[in-house]
Chain A
C-alpha cells in the first residue's frame, strides 16, 4: 500500500547563507501492506514524525521515492497532493488539530465540505460518524468546550469522514487518558478488521504498538528492524 524506497531526508537549519544541514533519515526502505496496522516507534528525534510527514506529503524527501497504492507521489504538485490527501488519506494528530471557531459538527464535516458534497448528505454522514465515536451529543459544541478525549473523537470522526483507505496517526493517544486510549485503540482495530483500513501509527506507547501487526523501530534516522507480532524484536533488518 505504501512503499518508501531508499528515502533520505535532511533539514537545513540556521540563518540564510549560514545554514547547517542536519540529516534526519538515512536510506529508509519501508513497505506497508494493505490492511496492515504498522506502528513506528523510536526515541524522540529518531525521525519517526518526519517519516510520517513524508508519507503525508507535508514535506518532500531529499532523495528516494514514495509510492502509495502503486502511484508515485514524490513529484506531485501541492495541488495534486491536496487532492490525493483528501481522496486517500485520513489524519489523526496528537493535539487533535481542530479549528477553534468551528463546532464539533463543522470540524468533522470539513473533509466533506472540501470534497463539495451537498448539505443533507453531509449532515447524515457527519451525524452517523459522530454517533459511532460517541460524541453526537456534543455536535454543537466548540473544541474549547470539549475534553481532550472528546476532541480526539471529533478528530477521529473527521479523519474517517471520507472512508480513506489509509489513516496516518501521529501519537493519537498522546493526549488521552487510559480509558479514552483503550476506546480509540479498539476503534482502530475495529476499522482495520471491518473495513480493511490501513493504519500507520507513530507512538511511544507500548500498548498502542501492541495492536499493530508490525512494529518499525527507528533510531537516529535509521530503520533498525521491522518485526511482526511474536517476532523477536532484536532481529535487525537494515
Chain B
C-alpha cells in the first residue's frame, strides 16, 4: 500500500470527527507550547546572565595572576614566565598590559588630549589574540599607536557616563586617524632638573567601544618599540620618573632600572580554542601558575543552567504526556468506530502492518500538527514576554531591567527537540490503538457485532 494512499485514508478518517480532532490537536499544541516556553525561560536567563558575564572578555582567555615558587606565591610575572607560557601547547598568544609610569600629556594640533593612561602592549601578540578595533588598523611601524574609543570625551563627559545623566555627545575618535600625537616624556636629570623628550607618534587605530555603558577607554596604546625609546630616555622600567634625592622620604625606593628583572601586568594566555582552555589551565597550574578563566566560571554556571533547563523541560514534558492521553483516547475511539471498515479491509487482503501504519500515521499527524502549532504559539509568547515583562516589572515593581535582558529564548534546536518529543509521544500513544486495530477479528467485524 502506497504512502499517498495511507495518507488519503488518514485524511478521510480525520474529516469524520473534526471537533474531536481539533480538541486533541489543541491539547497537544498546549503541551508543546508549555514545554517550549518553560524551557525557553532557562535558555533566556542563561543567555542573558552568561552574555553579561562574558561581556567583552574572551572565552579563550586565561588570566594569569601569579606564580607559585618554593611554596610561596609570587605575584610577579617576569619575562621568563611569559616565554614559558608562549611555549605551552595550543597557546595562540600571550598578551599583557603595562602602564607607563608617568603621564605623557599627549597633544594633538597643540591641544591637550584627555588620555587616562599610556599602556604598553605587544601588538604582535594582540593581533593573534584579536585586539578589538572600531576603526583603523594595528600598528605596523615603530612610531604608530592606537587610542581608546572614548579619548575625545572630556573628563566631565566620561564621569557623566556612569552617572544618572547620559553622556554628552563627543566627536568620534576615528576623526583622529592619521593624526600626529605628541607625547612628552620627562625625567629628572643628574642635576635634579626635569628634562623632556618629545615623541611624535601617528594614530593608526581606534579601540572598540567598551561593552558596558559605564566603561570608557581613553588610553593610548603603544608598542614595544616606543616603550624602548621611552625607557632609553628615562633609564627606568615603564618610563617611571626618578624620585628627587631631596624628597625627604627615606623609605622610598627608586623605580627599577632597565637591568632589573622586568614585571608584567594583566597577563593573559589566549588559547587557540575554547575547548583547549581547560587543558592549558591544568598544565600551567601544575607549573605553579595561578590562573582564572571565564571558561571555567562558565562551566559551573552552564552546569547549573543545564540542570535548570532539564528540570523545566521535564515539567514541560509532563504536559505533553498529559496531552498524549487525549491522543490515546482519540485513537482508541477511531479504531472502535472503524472496526467494521478495518474488518472489511482485512477480509479482502489488507496486511496487518498496513493497518497499523495507517493508525500510526494518523496519531503522528495529530502530534506533528499539535507540535507545529504549539511551536508557533511558543515563539509568539516568547516575543510577548520579552517585550511585556520588562514593561510590567518597571511599572509595578519599579525595577529597571537591563536593555538586552532576555527572559525567554527559543533556540531552533529547542523547537526541534520539542517537536520530536511531541511526535514521539504521539506515536507512543497511537501504538496501542494501532496494534488493537490489527487484532480486530474479521468475522466479528463483518457481522458488525464489535
Contact = CB atoms under 8 A, between A and B. Distances in A.
Contacts of B344: 97-99
Contacts of A82: 346, 349-352
Interface in B1-52: 1-2, 5, 12, 16
Of B1, B340, B344, most A-chain CB atoms within 10 Å: B344
Interface string A110-154: 110110100000000000000000000000000000000000000
A207 B345 CA distance: 30
Contact residues of A: prevailing secondary structure? helix
Interface string A83-104: 1111101010101011101100
B94 to A, nearest CB: 69
Contacts of A83: 349, 351
Contacts of A95: 446
Given A82-B349, A82-B350, A114-B348, A101 B16 contact: yes
Contacts of B446: 93, 95, 97
Interface residues of A, number: 28
A101 B1 contact: no
B443 A58 contact: yes
Given A82-B349, A101-B12, A114 B1 contact: yes
Contacts of B442: 58
A8 to B, nearest CB: 19
A97 B348 CA distance: 10
Interface residues of B, number: 21
Contacts of A84: 349
A71 to B, nearest CB: 16
A85 B348 contact: yes
Contact of B348 (A53, A102, A158): A158
A58 B347 contact: yes
Interface string B327-358: 00000000000001100111111111110000
B1 A110 contact: no
A86 B349 contact: yes
Nearest to B447: A95
A17 interface: no
B434 to A, nearest CB: 15
A177 interface: no
A85 B341 contact: no
Contacts of A79: 351-353
29 contacts: A53-B443, A56-B347, A58-B442, A78-B352, A79-B352, A82-B349, A83-B349, A83-B351, A84-B349, A85-B347, A85-B349, A86-B348, A86-B351, A91-B347, A93-B446, A97-B344, A97-B347, A99-B341, A99-B344, A101-B16, A111-B349, A113-B2, A114-B1, A114-B348, A114-B349, A114-B350, A114-B351, A116-B5, A158-B348
Q: What 8 pairs across the A-B complex have the smallest Cβ distances?
A: A86-B349, A85-B349, A82-B351, A58-B442, A99-B341, A113-B5, A97-B344, A58-B443
Interface of A: 53, 56, 58-59, 78-79, 82-87, 89, 91, 93, 95, 97-99, 101-102, 110-111, 113-114, 116, 158-159
Interface of B: 1-2, 5, 12, 16, 340-341, 344-354, 442-443, 446
Given A99-B345, A114-B348, A114-B349, 17 more contacts: A53-B443, A56-B347, A78-B352, A79-B353, A82-B351, A83-B349, A85-B348, A86-B348, A86-B349, A86-B351, A89-B349, A93-B446, A98-B344, A101-B12, A113-B5, A114-B354, A159-B348
